[in-house]
A and B are shown apart, each in its own frame.
Chain A
Amino acid sequence: MRRLPVLVTLIWVCSVFYVGIFLFVGGFLLVRLEVNRTSTCADVLSPGAQVKGDFCLSEPRFRRAVVLIIDALKADFTRYDPENTAPKPFENKLPVLDEMASLHPSHARLYTFRADPPTTTMQRIKGFTTGSLPTFIDVGNNFASNAILEDNLVHQLGQVGKRVVFMGDDTWVSLFPKKFHRSLPFPSFNVKDLHTVDNGILQNIYPTMEGDDWDVLIAHFLGVDHCGHRFGPDHPAMAEKLSQMDGVIRSVIKRLKNDTLLVVMGDHGMTDTGDHGGESQKETDAALFLYSSSPLFPAPGSQVEPEVVPQTDLVPTLALLLGVPIPYSSVGQVLLPLFPQNGSRGAPTGLSQAEALWINVKQVNRFLETYSNMAKDIPPDSLSQLRSDFSNISSQYLAAVHKGHLPSPKLVVSMQNYLTAVRETCRASWARFNPFKMAAGLLILGVACVLCYVLSELSQVVIQEGLLKLPILSGLGVGLVLAAGQLFSQGYLELSWCIGAAALSSEVLFLWRSGGVSPKGRWSPSSLLTPALLVLFLRCASLLSDSYVIYEGNVVTFLLFTLSIYVPLRLNWDGLLVPLPPPDTQKPPRLLPTVLPSSVVRRQATILLVWLGVLVGSLYLSLSFHNCREEQGTCQPSPFLSPLSRVQNSQLRNLHYVLSVGSLALWGYLLHRWLRHYGNLNCTSLTVFSACFLVPLACVCMGLHWAVSATPEDTFRNLSELIGLAQVFLPRTTFCLLALGLLLLWVDPMTVFLKSRTPLNSRGTSLPPPKYRASTGISPQAELHHLIPQLYQRIRHSLEDGGTESGETDSRPAVEAYGLGTVYSAPLVLLCGLLGLVLLLLHPEGMALAFLLLLLEAGAMLHIYACSSNLSSLHKHSNDFSVPWAPVVSWSLAAAQFFHATGHLPTFPSIQWGAAFVGFPQGHTGTALPASLVTLNTFSSHIIFAVGCPLLLFWPLVCEVRGTRSTRSAGAEESEDAVMEMRLRESPLKFSSGLLQLAARYLFVNGAQVFASVCAAAILRRHLMVWKVFAPKLMFEASGFIVGSMFVILGVAMVMRVDVSVGGLFKKLLPQNSR
């Protein structure tokens, strides 16, 4: 078979898709430029306005500040309701905040503190130190390091000589390298660790506060967040953690001096399951508590106070209270209640409201001017409106100051409105798209889909005639020429346009050339109107509606169910499902040349219906493993999704454990059983070793690992070291075993057992009909069913095809080969099984059941397809290995279905971060390993189905009914011969074109879904739900496609690898036999 053209074609098609995705995403995701200027003390107030001179020299309101950041301190946690007699674990556990706010209203306030999405800790730290708004993906000039280059509060504090002491979450140290006077970072990545960070802070915070070498103390507690991630808010551990925080706040308050401000804040909230990252109100609403021993606030009721404080507002407020310049790119607004309303002049309490606002307005205006010079994001009309607003405010304020009386309250309000308007303008304009790139990406993706379709129709021609060389080379040429032209004319390179042009030109050239060779009259639109493609169309259309995306799991299951019950209905419509009535004796039997015996039809139909039952059953059961989006109102996430250690009822935990281990064992058993059934376990190759020993061993390790990780921490205190060790080594051992298995599979994929026999008579004389030779000890089932006794003839055939001299092949000894019939599919099945175990290890334990369902469903789909092709093979006289659309579409839909049925959702908060800690409970040093683990976890179903895709080609051959094909193709002497996959070697060209067609169809089905979600994002880019539904869906669909297509190529490469080995085997046999 032609290996290289197939692989090159597939890689080319995939890279064209990647280019399209890259271009579109580059134009679609928001971009905000970072302004690298910093504020200085001198530039805060323009000369002439005030006589204060250098801002930093004047006496600030507070000399010191203590900032306690309690990660994920949700607004609900801080409310205190004395009438709640049965509080949940997270309710009424922080009474100190409410107590202080109600007892000392002029000293303390408690606000709801609203974060901007994305509500992840690092983005939030960035947000409330720089005062800017985050974009969807923060595009800065520093991809290499995490350090914040924008002007920020920590930098400003350091600039004026304040000593900033930091302790807690080590993210800060990477964000602000060398900015702290003293820092005590503690590792933050291990979500399971509730206490290290907090205890580390508690050991150091009181001595530090009592000492005198600090001005600003920042302490970032992580326990509450980790507790939420690990147990969820509704867990006794949360009550414990919050009570501990209550104690911390009380003791910090006791130690506060009069010149010190206390800020207690949460950086974000959490959902009911303890996760965060999205933009629901539960995630964005944190708490902000401000306290000072000296009076700070006006009497309650004397002023209108904000209900909700945006997170950006903390930056200017803290800056002005501590007497440092507001960071350059902050768009926040000072919190007015913290500033005296009037009569600041001469008073030592610092700035008045109007002064603070004026400073703030000037700073924001300066940022706006700078930013609009750098980037053309902000629409000119709103910019000019803002400018005129500012000049109004400025002239009014200066006039008021000049006359010497206070600015009017109206001016204060208009300054506030100006600040809010700037903030909203920035927010809107940082949601700006690059329409050219988006259009180019759409075009390339659309043409790539068409190309995939054409490729699948013309696979044979493409392989035979080598249509590809010119398009690929010319594409590369166009890209290079464009790059050179850009370099010469502009002096710099816009890479995205170059690769875009390259991809598009090669696509168009290929389509043009294939239009020349395609047989005329084959392109009819009715060929697109098959039900399978109709279902695919419905699936793609469903991606354009947010409701259908929200219920995507159910939608996909619905469509898959429809497609699978369509199969028997269609067969019945064609009259193939039930045996034909006994032929009329009157009519000549001219209709059908050969008829399947009715017993065979009945048997195949029964098998089909049984497997349909399995498929439908696993589809239905898989619905119970779904996770819930926040948009789905009354939805309960599957109980199997939470790790066993979270299940509190020990009986339930044991039940879950037994179920998981049972399905794990069944997974291994089914794998072993299948291989044994087809006689692939008889030889002594490395692969068989891995199937027989590595898989069970890995299963045992996984079972032990689950048992260890399910034990509650406090039950075996004296064994905790051993448990820790086991948690590291058991999963790592499993990984190693499975990786070894995969390696062995690649090195030696042959699972054929050869057995020499005494020479038979030569070919010319009456060849005795091939008989199975019963040999004891070797898989009796294999002999009964699928043994291939006639390797002799097959070898000869394939060698004749290969053009070898066949003159002296007469007196060869015959060879029996076991497992040759499934020589291609056995390594692939084993590969899927091994990969499935690796991926299962990355999931919560309960997902073992879902993985078992996945295996059953994949098997059912393969068998249904095989049976239906057996039943309908009568009508197809073509001997090419072409997989129709229906199985390919359902295969791809099943991948999407099990994405949901393994507890995943196309939303960022639902990513199962726990996968990064399997085998690495202490966390990682780099980011590549955890990222790849999480990717593997997220797209596990895409991976398994993509690797298993070539099985669709093999399965009808594996399950072929003896005598169906050969009776019509060859003579009667071979009629009882089950050649199974050896048929593929008989016509290597058709094999490779069939494989290419299958892969192209699979890529088309997946690519069409990517194209649909890209269209959804492009068309609905101003939709209310775009950042909540469509953009995450696009990201997941695109990444799923990228991962899936890579594994399709891997699967095809595996088939090629087996083909090489089979070729080697035959070559080895021939000289032995012929000489």
Chain B
Amino acid sequence: MAFVLEGVRLYKLQLGTLLYWFFHLTSIMWDVEIRGMASAHAIIASSIFMATVMPAVFVENFSVYGTHMVWLYCVAGSVAVVNIAVFWLLGISPPTKKHTVSYKINRLFRSCLYFILSCLFFHTVVVLYGAPLLESALETFSLAVLLSTLTTLRCLCILGPNVQAWIRVFSRDGAMSVWDTSLQITTGCSVIGAWLGAFPIPLDWDRPWQVWPISCTLGATTGFLTGLLAAPVWIHWHRKQLTYKLK
């Protein structure tokens, strides 16, 4: 239990530093944005780390391979919660035009709908890629949920439930802020990670992580972490070339 409290304190601490950076270092706007993003990414990454470590306290015989579904849902849940919290706190989401309650509810409803649709979409794509259709459908769907959490949820947080904006973001000149660029990078990395994760499945090594869908979820998570790490570095490296159109 003490461990949990420790973790929560860690969260608070990091959030504190983030807010400190974000609100107090306003002299160089550009760097602040990058640093803010780096800290947000650090929080999300540490949440994944926590989700891997923490359940060992609560669940008996917890291991990433053995109780893979538990791990998967822990990671998905924590990433979802932390993402929503961070982006809500930072106020990254596009400003809503109307402030009526019904409009907000509508937005929320549409976001949920898009999320579920994206899960179904990923499920279909994964099945088309060769996943078994009927047997282990739950595992396949869990992979789809994880992928949606890593990609679609961030889209929803950053761009709102606006498919045209999503399509726009994933084009060469479509990014309008550092957050859009980081979204491009993390989404691409997660999807490519899941794709690469499928490679070891046919090999005859008989390892526990070759069982469907463990390698793919691990690949997606690793890709996502890589994206989180790479995005600030890449943006910092290319900050001279990046010019965003004003909204």
Does B128 lie within 8 Å of A561, measured CB to CB? yes
Q: With A and B bound together, what is the CA distance between A439 and B91 in angstroms? A: 65
Does B128 lie within 8 Å of A620, measured CB to CB? yes
Q: Which chain B positions have C-beta within 8 A of A620? A: 127-128
A573 CB–B CB distance under 8 Å: yes
Chain A nearest CB from B169 CB (Å) reads 10
Question: What are the interface flags for A608-623 relative to B under an 8 Å C-beta threshold, 1 for contact and 0 otherwise?
Answer: 0000000010011001
Q: With A and B bound together, what is the CA distance between A548 and B130 in angstroms? A: 14
Question: What are the interface flags for B78-97 relative to A under an 8 Å C-beta threshold, 1 for contact and 0 otherwise?
Answer: 00000000000000000000
B170 CB–A CB distance under 8 Å: yes
The one of B167, B171, B195, B202 in contact with A547, judged by C-beta atoms closer than 8 angstroms, is: B202
B203 CB–A CB distance under 8 Å: yes
Does B195 lie within 8 Å of A554, measured CB to CB? no
Q: Which chain A positions have C-beta within 8 A of B168? A: 578
Given the known interface contacts A545-B203, A550-B202, the answer about A574 and B172 at a Cβ–Cβ threshold of 8 Å is: yes
Q: With A and B bound together, what is the CA distance between A919 and B40 in angstroms? A: 72
A572 CB–B CB distance under 8 Å: yes
B129 CB–A CB distance under 8 Å: yes
A161 CB–B CB distance under 8 Å: no
Chain A nearest CB from B89 CB (Å) reads 31
Question: What are the interface flags for B171-211 relative to A under an 8 Å C-beta threshold, 1 for contact and 0 otherwise?
Answer: 11110000000000000000000010010001110000000
Chain A nearest CB from B94 CB (Å) reads 17
Chain B nearest CB from A445 CB (Å) reads 26
Chain A nearest CB from B207 CB (Å) reads 12
Question: What are the interface flags for B152-180 relative to A under an 8 Å C-beta threshold, 1 for contact and 0 otherwise?
Answer: 00000000000010011011111000000
Q: Which of B123-161 contact A (CB under 8 A)?
A: 125, 127-130
Does B171 lie within 8 Å of A575, measured CB to CB? yes
Question: What are the interface flags for A551-581 relative to B under an 8 Å C-beta threshold, 1 for contact and 0 otherwise?
Answer: 1001101100110010001001111011000
Does B167 lie within 8 Å of A572, measured CB to CB? yes
Q: Which chain B positions have C-beta within 8 A of A574? A: 171-172
Given the known interface contacts A547-B203, A554-B202, the answer about A572 and B170 at a Cβ–Cβ threshold of 8 Å is: yes
Interface of B is mostly: loop
Does A557 lie within 8 Å of B172, measured CB to CB? no
Q: With A and B bound together, what is the CA distance between A619 and B198 in angstroms? A: 18
Residue of A554, A572, A616 with most chain B CB atoms under a 10 A cut-off: A572
Chain A nearest CB from B220 CB (Å) reads 16
Q: With A and B bound together, what is the CA distance between A554 and B173 in angstroms? A: 36
Q: With A and B bound together, what is the CA distance between A620 and B130 in angstroms? A: 8
Q: With A and B bound together, what is the CA distance between A616 and B126 in angstroms? A: 12
Does B171 lie within 8 Å of A572, measured CB to CB? yes
The one of A550, A554, A569 in contact with B170, judged by C-beta atoms closer than 8 angstroms, is: A569
Chain B nearest CB from A684 CB (Å) reads 46
Q: Which chain B positions have C-beta within 8 A of A577? A: 167
Q: Which residue of B lies closest to A555 (CB)?
A: B202
Does B129 lie within 8 Å of A561, measured CB to CB? yes
Does A562 lie within 8 Å of B195, measured CB to CB? yes
Q: With A and B bound together, what is the CA distance between A821 and B168 in angstroms? A: 37
Q: Which chain A positions have C-beta within 8 A of B129? A: 558, 561
Chain A nearest CB from B28 CB (Å) reads 29
Does B171 lie within 8 Å of A573, measured CB to CB? yes
Q: Which residue of A lies closest to B245 (CB)?
A: A584
Q: With A and B bound together, what is the CA distance between A616 and B130 in angstroms? A: 11
Given the known interface contacts A545-B203, A547-B204, A551-B202, the answer about A616 and B128 at a Cβ–Cβ threshold of 8 Å is: yes
Q: Which chain A positions have C-beta within 8 A of B128? A: 561, 616, 619-620
Q: Which chain A positions have C-beta within 8 A of B164? A: 578
Chain B nearest CB from A576 CB (Å) reads 9
Q: With A and B bound together, what is the CA distance between A623 and B131 in angstroms? A: 11
Does B170 lie within 8 Å of A623, measured CB to CB? no
Residue of A555, A557, A575 with most chain B CB atoms under a 10 A cut-off: A575
Chain A nearest CB from B190 CB (Å) reads 14
Q: With A and B bound together, what is the CA distance between A729 and B144 in angstroms? A: 55
Q: Which of B84-131 contact A (CB under 8 A)?
A: 125, 127-130
Does B130 lie within 8 Å of A623, measured CB to CB? yes
Question: What are the interface flags for A11-50 relative to B under an 8 Å C-beta threshold, 1 for contact and 0 otherwise?
Answer: 0000000000000000000000000000000000000000
Q: With A and B bound together, what is the CA distance between A575 and B129 in angstroms? A: 26
Does A548 lie within 8 Å of B172, measured CB to CB? no
Does A575 lie within 8 Å of B172, measured CB to CB? yes
Q: Which of A712-748 contact B (CB under 8 A)?
A: none
Does B130 lie within 8 Å of A557, measured CB to CB? yes
Chain B nearest CB from A810 CB (Å) reads 50
The one of B173, B202, B203 in contact with A575, judged by C-beta atoms closer than 8 angstroms, is: B173
Q: Which chain B positions have C-beta within 8 A of A545? A: 203
Given the known interface contacts A547-B203, A578-B167, the answer about A558 and B198 at a Cβ–Cβ threshold of 8 Å is: yes
Does A575 lie within 8 Å of B174, measured CB to CB? yes
Q: With A and B bound together, what is the CA distance between A547 and B199 in angstroms? A: 11
Q: With A and B bound together, what is the CA distance between A550 and B204 in angstroms? A: 10
Q: Which chain B positions have C-beta within 8 A of A550? A: 202
Q: With A and B bound together, what is the CA distance between A546 and B127 in angstroms? A: 24
Chain A nearest CB from B99 CB (Å) reads 27
Q: Which chain B positions have C-beta within 8 A of A565? A: 125
Q: With A and B bound together, what is the CA distance between A572 and B125 in angstroms? A: 18
Q: With A and B bound together, what is the CA distance between A551 and B171 in angstroms? A: 35
Q: With A and B bound together, what is the CA distance between A914 and B127 in angstroms? A: 34
Q: Which chain A positions have C-beta within 8 A of B203? A: 545, 547-548
Q: With A and B bound together, what is the CA distance between A565 and B191 in angstroms? A: 13
Chain A nearest CB from B144 CB (Å) reads 16
Q: With A and B bound together, what is the CA distance between A574 and B203 in angstroms? A: 36
Q: With A and B bound together, what is the CA distance between A619 and B129 in angstroms? A: 9
Q: With A and B bound together, what is the CA distance between A545 and B201 in angstroms? A: 13
Q: With A and B bound together, what is the CA distance between A547 and B210 in angstroms? A: 13
Q: Which chain A positions have C-beta within 8 A of B202? A: 547-548, 550-551, 554-555
Q: Which chain A positions have C-beta within 8 A of B171? A: 572-575
Q: With A and B bound together, what is the CA distance between A574 and B174 in angstroms? A: 10
Chain A nearest CB from B133 CB (Å) reads 9
Q: Which residue of B lies closest to A617 (CB)?
A: B128
Q: With A and B bound together, what is the CA distance between A577 and B166 in angstroms? A: 13
Q: Which chain A positions have C-beta within 8 A of B125? A: 565
Q: Which chain B positions have C-beta within 8 A of A554? A: 130, 202
Chain A nearest CB from B242 CB (Å) reads 16
Residue of B129, B168, B195 with most chain A CB atoms under a 10 A cut-off: B129
Q: With A and B bound together, what is the CA distance between A554 and B170 in angstroms? A: 29
Q: Which chain B positions have C-beta within 8 A of A569? A: 170
Q: Which chain A positions have C-beta within 8 A of B204? A: 546-547
Q: Which residue of A lies closest to B171 (CB)?
A: A575
Q: With A and B bound together, what is the CA distance between A144 and B191 in angstroms? A: 59
Q: Which residue of B lies closest to A578 (CB)?
A: B167
Does A573 lie within 8 Å of B172, measured CB to CB? yes
Q: Which of A611-651 contact B (CB under 8 A)?
A: 616, 619-620, 623
Q: 7 extra interchain contacts, Cβ-Cβ under 8 A, other than A554-B130, A554-B202, A573-B170?
A: A547-B202, A555-B202, A557-B130, A561-B128, A574-B171, A574-B172, A575-B173
What are 18 A-B pairs at a CB distance below 8 A?
A: A545-B203, A547-B202, A547-B203, A547-B204, A548-B202, A550-B202, A555-B202, A557-B130, A558-B130, A561-B128, A572-B170, A572-B171, A573-B170, A573-B171, A575-B171, A575-B172, A620-B127, A623-B130
| Nearest 10 interchain pairs by C-beta | A551-B202, A575-B171, A547-B203, A547-B202, A547-B204, A620-B128, A554-B130, A573-B171, A573-B172, A572-B171
**Interface on B for A, CB 8 Å cutoff?**
125, 127-130, 164, 167-168, 170-174, 195, 198, 202-204
